Amino acid sequence: MRLPLLVVACAAAASSELAPAPAPGHRPALPRQCKADQLVAAGGKRGGAVPAVWAPPSYGWAILSNWLYFLSLGLNAVNVQYLVRLIVNADGSTAPSPAAIALSGRVETVDKLLTFLGVGLLSALSDVRGRKPLMAWSALGFAATNLLQASAGAGSIGRLYLADLIDGCSSCMTPICQAYVADCSPASRRAQNLGVSRAGVFQGLSVGGAFLLAFPIGGVLGAKLGPRAPLRIAAALQVVNAALIALLVDLREANPIGALRRLFGRAGLLRSAALAYGFVSLARNALDAQFVNYASVRFGWSQQQTGPIMVVVGLMLAVAPRLLVPRLGPRRAVLLPRPRLQRAVLYGLAVFAAGLGGAGASPSPTGFLASIVVVSVGCVCIPALQALLTNIAPPGERGALLGALGALTELTGAIGSTLYAAVLAAFTAEAPPLPLPGMHFFVGAAMLVAAWALAARGFATHAAEARAAAAAGPAGAADE
């Protein structure tokens, strides 16, 4: 039920393209555990003085933990809607019904609201207590979620709510892993390591690689063994993940309102980009939260058919940002130190909106799939927005800001889950208001148009302020 993370997790947390160059001899600040591990890596002893030369610890274990997490998420995402139908439908069938669609939206809303309330706290806590314990907490929470969902029988609606309650209180794996990778990456490689540029590893390995395996395997297992078996496998993978974190991993403003204030409480480009990100996050739920239900209602697809399609989506999301961001314009500075992120945001939003509109209007599977490819290309705007937000934020708040983005994502996910489930149920009923079964896609496209307007205005204002400051600079210096 947490497919919306598919897009968010593939986004990069920071970009060296906008980060100021460090002063000579400056060592980036790391959380306490990173500092200790960096000391050991440099040949020192724990408790001793930190060497003058910064030797960042490896972040490979964080990528592995996130990969295992998304492997479980992919197995869950392909099958959980079918499990809800088994529980709700009186005849025990897996056919989509308005009651099952509405229930899935309400249950997902519980998850998103609780994650919104907790992800900022958990991410900020990892800045103080270290990444490892919070990563283990997230893995065990998702394991319990899958076990509860798999054990739910006919009429066990309360167990579904309990499962998503636990999930919502433990969802923090991706922002914490992203924060760790960003903390332990030198400025010259931060964008590459997180996946904004073509050499990115976090996005391609830990997210795209996991979904490439999980979606087809989950679809086949669900069709052959029923939707409960893949969920049990997903739970087992997270138990293994938690054990690896506890035994092997050497990982070197804590409330939702305060987290949102980090994004919206500051004027200028940061606020505009945060508002645009909120609309994008809300819009993407039109596809993420209702993909399985819409494909079943509109085209009669089963798990075996939706699984491979979701692989295509995951592959496009893994590849598109790495290929497109470095090619979206010249290197000369116009509005920002590097205009490519600006171009990725604006072009991506426009393409994303067009793709959602096409998905809503397409009457055939072929046209729908073509629109999904367009959507995947447009999703380049999401890592670009996250990179922009992370790098214009005050220094020393990377983990907290990623937590704030996570809180905003979950809040919009809670709104979108209920909103799009209600719209899909209404427009696929026997007597719909209009003969537009893809109406929820048009609602999402309207959100993206609003995001484009906010982002364009923010970039234009930022450019005007930069030109005014540059013009006033020489005069101010002369007066002094």
pTM, whole model, 2 decimals?
0.59
Cα–Cα distance for residue pair 480/470, rounded to 1 Å? 16
Mean pLDDT for the chain overall? 75
Q: Is 437 exposed, middle or buried (0-12, 13-18, 19+ CB in 10 A)?
A: middle
For the four alpha carbons of 74, 75, 78 and 84, in that order, the dihedral sign comes to negative
Dist CA 104 CA 83 (whole Å) = 10
Mean pLDDT of 171-188: 73
The DSSP code sequence of 170-216 is: H--HHHHHHHHHHHTS-GGGHHHHHTSSTT--IIIIIIIHHHHHHHH
Angle between helix 291-299 and 303-324 (nearest 10):
130
Residue 32 is encoded by which pair of tokens?
Answer: 């306490």
What CA–CA distance (Å, rounded) separates 66 from 63? Answer: 5
Residue 205's pLDDT is 61
Asked if pLDDT for residue 266 goes beyond 60, the answer is yes
Stretch (H or E) spanning 452: helix 439-479
Please give the structure tokens belonging to residue 258: 């305060």
Task: Residue 223: name the closest of 289, 291, 297, 308 by CA.
Answer: 308
Question: What mean pLDDT comes out for the span 118-130?
Answer: 71
Q: Which position has the token pair 């040949």?
A: 43
Instruction: Tell me the two tokens of residue 394.
Output: 């005050």
Q: Is the pLDDT of residue 96 over 70?
A: yes
Distances (CA, A) of 61 to 178, 249, 289: 12, 6, 29
Rg of the Cα atoms in the chain:
22
Range among 32-36, 60-64, 315-319, 444-448 rated most confident: 444-448
Q: Residue 333: is its pLDDT beyond 80? A: no
pLDDT of 31 higher than 70? no
CA distances from residue 111 to 137, 178, 238, 247, 305 in whole angstroms, order as listed: 16, 21, 18, 29, 27
**Over 60: is that where the pLDDT of 253 sits?**
no
Q: Which residues of 443-464 are buried (b: 16+ CB within 10 A; e: fewer)?
A: bbbbbbebbbebbbebbeebee
Listed by start position, the domains of the chain span: 5-17+33-42+55-462
- Region 329-340: mean pLDDT is 46
Structure tokens at 75: 């197995």
How buried is residue 356: exposed, middle or buried, by Cβ count under 10 Å (0-12/13-18/19+)?
buried
Q: What are the counts of helices (DSSP H) followed by strands (DSSP E) for the chain?
A: 19, 0
- Residue 326 DSSP class: G
Of 285, 269, 283, the closest CA to residue 385 belongs to 269
Q: Is the pLDDT of residue 252 over 90?
A: no
CB atoms within 10 A of CB 293: 25
Residue type, 266: R
Amino acid at 286: A
Question: Quick one: tokens of 270?
Answer: 């940061």
pLDDT at 249 over 70: no
Confidence band for 186, pLDDT divided at 50, 70 and 90: low
Contact present, 386 and 12 (Cβ < 8 Å): yes
**Residue 372 scores a pLDDT above 70:** yes
Crossing angle of the two packed helices 303-324 and 339-361, in degrees rounded to 10: 160
3-state DSSP helix/strand/coil percent for the chain, to nearest 5?
75, 0, 25
| CA separation for the pair 47, 224 (Å, rounded) | 55
- CA separation for the pair 5, 108 (Å, rounded): 12
pLDDT digits (tens, 9 = 90+) for 424-439: 989 988 888 888 899 9
394-422 residue pLDDT tens: 655 666 677 778 778 878 888 888 899 88
Whether 322 shows a pLDDT value over 70: the answer reads no
Of the ranges 33-47, 388-402, 429-443, which is most confident? Answer: 429-443
Distance CA 61, CA 181 (A): 10
Structure confidence at residue 454 as a pLDDT band (50, 70, 90)? very high
User: What's the topology of domain 5-17+33-42+55-462?
Assistant: Growth Hormone; Chain: A; (1.20.1250)
Q: Are 270 and 385 in contact (CB under 8 A)?
A: no
Taking residues 165-170, report their average pLDDT.
Answer: 87
Query: Using CA atoms, how far apart are residues 235 and 213, in angstroms rounded to an integer?
Result: 16
How many angstroms separate the CA atoms of 435 and 357, rounded? 15
